[in-house]
Structure 1
């Protein structure tokens, strides 16, 4: 990368280049961890289970990704040179930190309390995440006054239909699958949460497709392509989670496709740092022109 990337942050340690490389490294390390250790092994009672240390590790990978993304998004909100709407990054930051807290409570319920993690108090933070991140992406689209061609709207419509159909099919539980015994309040609230997540996933998929098509091409738009890819990753992870918990009896978290949860956090963070870098470079160019 050029020297402008290295100088984007006051400290060389936190340059754009180093943050991007660290993010990519975290994503690759996460994939290797899932590939090598996600297999279920026989437990003391004869059933197949994933090791507790492995589940703890997946939670750590996810927590670090979203905590880092939240910090980077809030840094953009605090920046005075940001090109895009700063409120977008405030909402993004709140969403990332909410997902981080939701994951912590989810892991605590499953690993420490040995209880069914859905629904749990962690879902409160996951719901907040979908609301604020969805609002941020809508605000980003509205503030840029995106104009799409007819063929682009057709692509968005096709993806919306396919995404909705897939979510609907996955969400319909087969008669032969029985869930573990859960509390009465959980039985009542679970269907509402299920449909909230399904609808939110489809809406994020539509908005992400619009962002991807609108910002395809150009270095300045790279950050928004990362955000769109993050939303796609979140959709894939949620669809797998929905399929596994609906169709697989006694499913234990940690399946290979849950790596997309971590990748989503990584991509949100990369989008934030690339937006900051592009804004900082633009500010420097404008100052140079004024001096000239």
Structure 2
């Protein structure tokens, strides 16, 4: 009986791990093949929907696997640990749905979306869950291991500071990872008619040439030219992009926008803490029976950090950045690795308890 249950457990974990790896490979191929559009063309709508689906399924699967560990009394690392991590995955799943609806459904490119509130709770639950693991582990790291933690923490702080600082030259920077700059190049010239619309009272100037100019034919030709283009150019800028956005959404976006500086600092500090805890977990669980699952969790935290740092760099340093850059695939990797870590922990804990139970029965 023990052997058959163990083989079924091994088969189930193998199936889960292979499915998770397959999902990560599919996401990577999707990003590699379609993240770079044709020159001068924006990313298609279906690409943004596809990236959202890939990310959403990765995190909801990780949440389900973490909650399975929470409900199992056999989990050695503690049920509260997986409850917190599962809540973090669930909050990120909900936040990603709200962000996708805000960006794709309503067509708003927000500084702060309603999904950010769930992202905040996702960070909080993840940090609590990983801290519980570190505390329960009773770390006994050597001096050189603490040195590695200190060096990685310092590098993470420096990198986060450099990335968080906005560009001071005011010029757009380009990157092969962010072709959205070339895609959205028409969006920047679209801001220029706003200045012409603001100077529209200068259209009264043609009246003075008509009074003083000896050649009325030239004044007749000059009058329609400034009036008609200025009205057409100002219309798409002031109402064209926002006409399809509901009033409540536009109002909520204006209310949430002032929270951007506070959320930026929260994300930066949380990313640094995740990096430090992930490094500590990686060194603490380097060997042992339960090392493999927590190495996956540490790798998931590293992937989360990479995606967050890239997104922070892109939004601060790259003009008119659109979500969907190549390095954003690390968010999907993070969800996949959290799910793999949860599956491995469940399998190892089940085998460990079944072996100890069998020994007690035979004794």
TM bucket (normalised to shorter chain) is over 0.9
Query: 1:234, CA displacement in angstroms?
Result: 0.1
Q: Which residue pairs with 2:150 in the alignment?
A: 157
Say which SS state the counterpart of residue 82 (structure 1) adopts: coil
Say which SS state the counterpart of residue 9 (structure 2) adopts: coil
Q: Distance in 1 between matches of 2:286 and 2:75?
A: 20
Q: Which residue pairs with 2:33 in the alignment?
A: 36
Q: Distance in 2 between matches of 1:16 and 1:200?
A: 31
Deviations 1:119-147 (A, max 9, x none): 10000000000001001000110011111
Q: Within 5 A, what are the aligned runs for 1:104-183?
A: 104-175=97-168, 176=170
Moved more, 170-179 or 52-61: 170-179
1:25 equivalent in alignment to 2:22: yes
TM-score computed with the length of structure 1 as normaliser: 0.92
Q: What number of residue pairs does the alignment pair up? A: 283
Q: Is the 8 A contact 1:96 1:129 kept in 2?
A: yes
Q: Distance in 1 between matches of 2:312 and 2:7?
A: 41
Q: Which residue pairs with 1:100 in the alignment?
A: 93
Say which SS state the counterpart of residue 7 (structure 1) adopts: helix
Q: Which residue pairs with 1:189 in the alignment?
A: 259
Q: Is the 8 A contact 2:110 2:257 kept in 1?
A: no
Q: Which runs of 5+ in 2 are unaligned?
A: 173-187, 192-236, 238-249
Q: Within 5 A, what are the aligned runs for 1:198-217?
A: 198-217=268-287
Query: 1:40, CA displacement in angstroms?
Result: 2.8
Label 1:273 to 1:112 Cα distance change in 2 as closer, same or farther (>3 A).
Answer: same
Deviations 1:236-269 (A, max 9, x none): 0000000111111110110000000000000000
Q: Is the 8 A contact 2:102 2:113 kept in 1?
A: yes
1:290 equivalent in alignment to 2:291: no
Which residue, 293, 301, 325 being the options, matches 1:223?
A: 293
1:281 equivalent in alignment to 2:329: no
Moved more, 197-206 or 139-148: 139-148
Deviations 1:132-169 (A, max 9, x none): 10010001100111111000111000001100000000
Query: 1:117, CA displacement in angstroms?
Result: 3.5
Q: Which runs of 5+ in 1 are unaligned?
A: none
Say which SS state the counterpart of residue 62 (structure 1) adopts: helix
Q: Which residue pairs with 2:9 in the alignment?
A: 8
Relative contact order (alpha carbons < 8 A, sep ≥ 6): 1 or 2 greater?
Answer: 2
Q: Is the 8 A contact 2:31 2:329 kept in 1?
A: yes
Say which SS state the counterpart of residue 312 (structure 2) adopts: helix
Query: 1:3, CA displacement in angstroms?
Result: 7.4
Q: Distance in 2 between matches of 1:272 and 1:132?
A: 15
Query: 1:219, CA displacement in angstroms?
Result: 3.8
Label 1:206 to 1:73 Cα distance change in 2 as closer, same or farther (>3 A).
Answer: same
Instruction: Please say which structure displays the higher CA radius of gyration.
Output: 2
Label 1:268 to 1:246 Cα distance change in 2 as closer, same or farther (>3 A).
Answer: same
